[in-house]
Amino acid sequence: MTTPVTGGACKLQWKADWAMRWTALGVDYEMAGKDLSESVKLSSRIAKALGAQAPRASAMNCFSTKMAKISKSRGNGLTIEQWLTYAPPESLSLYMFQSPRKAKRLYFDIIPKAVDEYITFVDKLSEQTVDQQLTNPTWHIHAGAQASSGSPVSFALLLNLVSASNARTRKFCGALSATMRPA
């Protein structure tokens, strides 16, 4: 059997693939788990051999779910897509922004807290001086632009209301959320 190597018909071995992507896409920063630090070093050498400068690397501790290392094969991980099903992307950005080198516990129960922290930071931003805004994570998440206002109720309260009302549809949940917003 013969397979062409062009037109997306094959994939490089992952360490070489990493270096190839860095080179082709001009990546200048790569964050990876500490368990992949040797792979980052090897991929950096490959990128240099390809004539590119390796990106600046930053190592972080592995995510964990209730102190067990996340494993896709075991199915104990919370994916980004799953997070975004329940919460806005900015809440995930805030979660990652805080202590980026620290191991994180990643499971569904932390989503309401992360959303509520995001709302709190957004609400404070408009009342802060410029110097204070620079210490507010949402200023960085929104690249210095003013984020839209937060929410008059916490995400945790909204979840409790949805649960207590036995809501079954997105339409109902959206209507409930809309009634909580100031006019």
Give CA–CA dist 12/145, Å, rounded. Answer: 40
- The structure tokens listed for 133 are 């805004």
Higher pLDDT, 131 or 173: 131
Task: Write out pLDDT tens, residues 6-63.
Answer: 777 777 887 788 898 899 899 888 877 777 888 889 999 999 999 999 998 877 765 5
Question: Whole-angstrom Cα distance, residue 15 to residue 40?
Answer: 8
Model pTM above 0.95: no
Please report the pLDDT score of residue 125 as a whole number.
87
pLDDT for the residue 183? 44
Q: 64, 103 in Cβ contact below 8 A?
A: yes
- Domain boundary assignment for the chain: 9-60
The conformational region for residue 30 under phi > 0 = left, psi -120 to 50 = alpha, else beta, is beta
Cα–Cα distances in angstroms (integers) from residue 23 to residues 18, 123, 158, in the given order: 9, 41, 45
User: What's the pLDDT tens digit per position in 94-120?
Assistant: 988 887 777 777 778 888 999 999 999
Query: For 61-100, what is each residue's pLDDT tens digit?
Result: 655 555 556 655 566 667 778 888 888 899 988 988 887 7
CA 54, CA 37: separation in Å to the nearest integer?
Answer: 14
CB atoms within 10 A of CB 137: 19
Strand partners, 144: none
Taking each helix axis from N to C end, the angle separating 37-49 and 14-25, rounded to the nearest 10 degrees, works out to 60
Cβ proximity of 68 and 110 under 8 Å? no
Confidence at residue 57, expressed as pLDDT on a 0 to 100 scale: 83
Q: How far is CA 91 from CA 9, 51, 134, 135, in A?
A: 37, 38, 18, 17
* Residues 88 and 115: beta-carbon distance below 8 Å: yes
How far from chain centre, in Å, is Cα 81?
10
Contact 127, 110 (CB under 8 A): no
Token pair 């210095």 is found at 144
Q: pLDDT for 132-150, tens place per residue?
A: 999 999 888 888 877 776 6
